[in-house]
Amino acid sequence: MTDSPSQRPGKRERLVEAAVRAFHEQGVEKTTLADIARAADVPLGNVYYYFRSKDLLVEAAVEAHCDRLTALTNRLDALPDPAARLKALIEGWVGQRETAARFGCPFGTLATELDKRDDGLDLAAAQVMRALLDWVERQFGELGRPDARALAVELVAAYQGMSVLTNILRDPGLMAAQGARLTSWIDALAGS
Amino acid sequence: MTDSPSQRPGKRERLVEAAVRAFHEQGVEKTTLADIARAADVPLGNVYYYFRSKDLLVEAAVEAHCDRLTALTNRLDALPDPAARLKALIEGWVGQRETAARFGCPFGTLATELDKRDDGLDLAAAQVMRALLDWVERQFGELGRPDARALAVELVAAYQGMSVLTNILRDPGLMAAQGARLTSWIDALAGS
DNA sequence: GTCTATACGCCGATAGAC
DNA sequence: GTCTATCGGCGTATAGAC
């Protein structure tokens, strides 16, 4: 609401976007409000008009990840069959392998960092992760697998794990190779 | 070296141990030198006699992880066959599932955090990760698998991924279930 | 609503007595 | 070698003019 008429996205939106990016690239703890303000082209003092504390900006960043996930799954739901949806999900991950090699999974690294903080935002992050698991589980369920939940955990864990390794070793090729493995794994499961 | 004779472990060792623990539980960025000094029962100012900067303490913590890994693989090498070694490795991971649920993988979360820092310690962390991958690869090689490296990446990534999910969802049961899956996966690979 | 200037606390690091 | 006291800088947050 309340976008001023003849301007680029409102300051609030710019701040959240800058925060998401900075948290991904530098981590929450190393990111200062000055960093975010500069990236969003908003004066430092003015940040506090939109977010009364840094924690509230972190919370907004988590919500942004949640929205992003919802948008993604909505797009994937347009695909005809569940196997295609899962493979498209993997393809999306692999497509981000260069930034993953540099900064890790945008959501995974954030959630991991939140688990070491005092704020209660780790719970919100867990909710988002559960939403992803639920969606993946639904796809495996539509494929007729009774062990859909376990397979969902296996797939998402494989992604998080290859993100960690890709990041630590700075090797996007690792994610490409593991992505290919997961894709043929989906094919094998769907074909059986 | 230079442990004073009739005393508990030297201050340097206590500081490193406290640092490893604090970095795991709170993260590097949130951990202050005062935290470490207190946990090690060393006066704050004295820390700088042993480590001229916080970065050097972080470096020492990475080296400690490296030593810990070497000690582990040495122990596992005493086991008769490679499949048993790999399953013992997994068993060790699962045995740590309660702390993993609370704080994640001690080394994975540290390495991930180092990747967002300016110091060059991410390279040292990558070396340690590579050492683990090399050892696991050797086991798969001894099992006669030509795709030993890919399997090693798959196993370690699975562990890192389930650590992330276990941590975010605060669910040690997830790691137990995935560990069981990996164990029977090893059995299937070794039996074929 | 917007922005500047600044208060205030915390933390890494140092000085220097013992 | 050990420890206390403290400096200096940075980062969150606020006060208050416009």
CA B177-B164-B119 angle, 5° bins: 150
How many Cβ atoms are within 10 Å of B185's Cβ, its own excluded? 16
Q: Is the dihedral of CA A24, A29, A35, A41 positive or negative?
A: positive
Do the chains contact at B156 and A160, CB–CB below 8 Å? no
pLDDT digit string, tens, across residues A29-79: 999 999 999 999 999 999 999 999 999 999 999 999 999 999 999 999 999
Provide the b/e sequence for A60-86 (b: ≥16 CB within 10 Å): bbbebbbeebeeebeebeeeeebbebb
Do the chains contact at A27 and B154, CB–CB below 8 Å? no
Provide the b/e sequence for B114-130 (b: ≥16 CB within 10 Å): bbbbeeebbebbbebbe
Considering all nucleic acid strands, name the nucleotide whose C1' atom is nearest to the C-alpha of residue B57. Answer: C12
Look at the block and give the residue holding tokens 């605060």.
B170
Going from the first residue of chain B to its last (192 residues), give the mean pLDDT of each consecutive group of 10, the final group possibly shorter.
56 97 98 98 97 98 98 98 98 98 98 96 98 98 98 99 98 98 97 80
In whole angstroms, D2 C1' to B46 CA is: 7
Cβ-Cβ contacts under 8 Å, A125 against chain B: 168
Residues (pLDDT < 50) of chain A are 1-6
Predicted confidence at residue B49, as pLDDT, reads 98
The reply to whether B5 has its C-beta less than 7 Å from any atom of strand D is no
Nearest to B104 by CA among B172, B182, B18: B172
| DSSP SS3 for A6 | coil
In chain A the first and final C-alpha atoms are separated, in Å, by 49
Q: Which of B29, B167, B177 sits opposite A150 (nearest CB)?
A: B177
In whole angstroms, C10 C1' to B138 CA is: 48
Q: What are the sequence ranges of the domains in chain A?
A: 62-191
Predicted confidence at residue A5, as pLDDT, reads 41
CATH class of residue range B62-191: mainly alpha
